Structure 1
């Protein structure tokens, strides 16, 4: 009888230990899950605000526009004030003339780069913002002068998105591209990188 009670006691004891261990494991897993969710949420939510903080180091004010909804939340796209908004990018048209390298450096100082044109719609939008009497640098160059034009982000110039004026580019010494209005309208032209022109900067929008 005593032995049976001792055996039952041991059984209850081990059952309690197993139950306690299971509960502790469950609580630890729950805590880890909650923590991972918090960290992931903070990482996702902090990204746009980190970007906004970076933009505020270059620009005193930003303009944000409602751009529909993603899932069930309204989405806002933000550009620096006085920049033009199109698609997922913001554009700045310079008012001063510089050589190509200096133009790119000025864009970088504003958190941007010389414009990269990816579609006909983007080209059409940009030329609507320009002065027909001014030439503007693009973020397009031919570093080796071998007609291998590439954008500032190192992507090659697509055959499907080329808006060169007739018979351009035509000189291997002219290794930078510009957009300029001639009698036939707007188009790209190869120019000397050391020439001084206006320029167009582009940056990605920040979404909230």
Structure 2
């Protein structure tokens, strides 16, 4: 049988009589009751002690549970930090490998560049030592194989070059200017040449009096017309305007001994030669042979 404890209690009874209260213990003997309590059974007489014990155990369990939760969280954070460090380290190693690869390529390209520079220098030195070849004798050029060429501002037509001046000068001054450029005042040898010049002057003249000197004059002898190369005028190839030449002396007593040409409006009428005082300022037409093509040696 399980052991029991005996609890003795002192029970006192009171007796009420009228307004006077007397203690029962003075007149009544104390009665002792024996109470047997099993250790295995909770005491019903001490509820406050039992509740307090349960509360203490509950509080202790909560604290232990809180510590376990905190420990789990700490472990999770530690695992996250370890994973992050592993990722950073892996990334660092990959970057380092790429850098090493780029550095190796740079070293390779630098070596190739130095080799190319060395080869270029050697080749340049060799070329400077080579004696240039002498220019071979150019082959003969036939007229049919050459193409006429004119200087800048000169216009080419029929194997000749023409220059139309833009300044006004006397006949003699105009001729000297043409000669300084390797030519002379124009000599008209054909109807085609007259047509070409008439059309050109029609576009260049500003007004009817804006005419151009040509290389024809009778200054040596009145009425006998000669070109600047001293060849006489072919009357079948003369293009005088109607009633020209008239040697008009009212403007200059010495008359009109030089020829100008031009008709504003077009080449419909080729007869556009006019005699005029040689001192009158006009523009002029210069003429020279076109240069033939040639071969150069490089």
Q: Do both proteins adopt the same fold according to a TM-score greater than 0.5, normalized to the shorter chain?
A: yes
Q: Secondary structure at the match of 1:207?
A: coil
RMSD: 2.5
For residues 275 and 234 of structure 2, the distance between their equivalents in structure 1, rounded to whole angstroms, comes to 16
Q: In the TM superposition, what is the alpha-carbon distance from 1:82 to its structure 2 partner?
A: 2.0
* Normalised TM-score (structure 1): 0.63
Rg larger in structure: 2
Does residue 193 (structure 1) correspond to residue 264 (structure 2)? The answer is no
Q: Do structure 1's residue 205 and structure 2's residue 290 form an aligned pair?
A: yes
TM-score by length of 2: 0.44
Question: What are the ranges of 5 or more consecutive residues in structure 1 without an aligned counterpart?
Answer: 1-40, 49-67
Query: Which whole-Å CA distance do the structure 2 matches of 1:162 and 1:95 have between them?
Result: 25
Q: 2:184 corresponds to which residue?
A: 113
| Deviation readout 1:122-148 (Å, 9 max, x if unpaired) | 011111211342210000000135210
Which whole-Å CA distance do the structure 1 matches of 2:143 and 2:174 have between them?
Answer: 36
* Residue matched to 1:149: 225
Classify 1:182/1:95 alpha carbon distance in 2 versus 1 (closer, same or farther; 3 Å).
closer
Larger RCO of the pair (alpha carbons < 8 Å, separation 6+): 1
CA distance in 2, matches of 1:166, 1:145: 22
C-alpha separation in 1, matches of 2:146 and 2:216:
32
Distance change >3 Å, CA 182–CA 167, structure 1 → 2? farther
More strand by share: 1
How far apart are the structure 2 equivalents of 1:88 and 1:161? 20
Mapped contact 1:145–1:174 kept (Cα < 8 A):
no
Cα distance in 1 for partners of 2:212, 2:257 equals 14
Distance 1:69 1:77, change over 3 A: same
Length, aligned pairs only: 143
- The alpha carbon displacement at 1:180 in A equals 2.6
**In the alignment, structure 1 residue 123 sits paired with structure 2 residue 194:** yes
Moved over 6 A (4+): none
